[in-house]
């Protein structure tokens, strides 16, 4: 574990560490509590701001992300901002990029 990614957990056990695995543009931080040899068993912790305390959450990181994307009532929900989900294929993205480039940066 790289020390720059670890943040001490307020705990009586000084060897317990958080391993950050995601952040948002709104300064939310998501971490695993590194306990034991099995990463699949590490609980998820989150906080809304660097000055806020860490909050332990139930479930795996996969379940956390699923709920964050689909449940408007989840405390870290992104679903509350979107009425529906969408998918843009790589081909559509590439075509849009080329159209933008051709319009604003014409080829000689």
pLDDT bracket for residue 5 (50, 70, 90): very low
Question: Does some domain include residue 63?
Answer: yes
Question: Does some domain include residue 98?
Answer: no
Domain count, the chain: 1
Question: Does some domain include residue 43?
Answer: yes
Give dist(CA 74, CA 70) in Å, integer: 8
Question: Does some domain include residue 24?
Answer: yes
Task: Report pLDDT for 20.
Answer: 92
Question: Does some domain include residue 31?
Answer: yes
**pLDDT single digits (tens) 30-79:** 999 998 889 888 999 999 888 888 889 888 999 999 988 888 888 888 88
Question: Does some domain include residue 78?
Answer: yes
Task: Report pLDDT for 70.
Answer: 86
Question: Does some domain include residue 75?
Answer: yes
Task: Report pLDDT for 15.
Answer: 66
Question: Does some domain include residue 91?
Answer: no
Token readout for 67 is: 């709920």
In three state form, how does the secondary structure of the chain look? CCHHHEEECCCCCCCCEEEEEEECCCCCEEEEEECCCCHHHCCEEEECCCCCCCEEECCCHHHHHHHHHHCCCCCCCCHHHCCCCCCCCHHHHHHHHHHHHHHHCCCC
Model confidence pTM above 0.85: no
| Range(s) of the domain holding residue 38 | 3-83
**pLDDT single digits (tens) 12-24:** 555 668 899 998 8
């Amino acid at each position: 574990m790289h020390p720059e990614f670890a943040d001490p957990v307020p705990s009586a056990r000084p060897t317990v560490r958080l391993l950050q695995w995601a952040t948002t543009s709104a300064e939310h931080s998501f971490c695993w509590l590194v306990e034991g040899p099995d990463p699949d068993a590490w609980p998820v912790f989150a906080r809304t701001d660097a000055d806020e305390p860490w909050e332990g959450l139930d479930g795996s990181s996969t379940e956390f992300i699923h709920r964050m994307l689909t449940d408007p009532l989840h405390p870290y929900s992104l679903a509350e901002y979107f009425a529906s989900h969408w998918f843009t294929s790589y081909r559509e993205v590439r075509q849009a990029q080329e159209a933008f480039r051709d319009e604003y940066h014409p080829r000689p």
